[in-house]
Amino acid sequence: MTTIAVLGNGRVGGNLATALTRAGHQVAVADRTPGAAAHAAHAARIVINATPGAGSLERLTALREDLRDRILVDVSNATLDGPDGLPADLIHPGSSLAEQLQEALPETHVVKTLNTMLFPVMTAPATLTQTPTAFLSGEDPQAKHTVRDLLIDLGWQKEWITDLGGIQTARATEAAILFVPHVIRANGFTPFAISITR
């Protein structure tokens, strides 16, 4: 059993918290109550960033001391939304939210994952008709191994998980968010994921 803090109690955070609790982990969900995020992060071994990506950098930088030596699993995408509320552009072109977080939190082990799919797929990958891919980006091999085990607890098979390398590779997976509005306009909100097939 691992102690996990989920920052963000929207659809993404709530979905992950429910699934991880069901898998046997001790999970605390931090809402917007003042001090809730710091308290949850300080008590956890793993912290999941499921906050809206546009404000994640500022929000998590304020938790620097509480995130020291923690694994920070970043599942957010930092985007500027278009008039229809769907992602229209990246906030960190030529970089990524994950890279910005790692730079701002040098004593935290940032791992990017689960950001290339609609949120229901994060905890139910086997429900898709074809095999999805979950990508890992991060500097610390042990942290990525720990996150890989978490993904397996969420229903991901080992062969569906691809380690892309260092945190800089997160700029590629974060850019994949630009596919999302076009796919949604074409097919609605039917769950889907970016997948590498061979």
Q: In sequence order, what DSSP letters do the residues of 94-153 get, joined into one string? A: TS-HHHHHHHH-TTSEEEE-S-SB-HHHHH-GGGSSS---EEEEES-HHHHHHHHHHHHH
pLDDT (tens digit per residue) in 85-106 = 889 999 999 999 999 999 999 9
Is the pLDDT reported for residue 60 higher than 70?
yes
Confidence of residue 1 (pLDDT cuts 50, 70, 90): low
Domains along the chain?
3-187 (3.40.50.720)
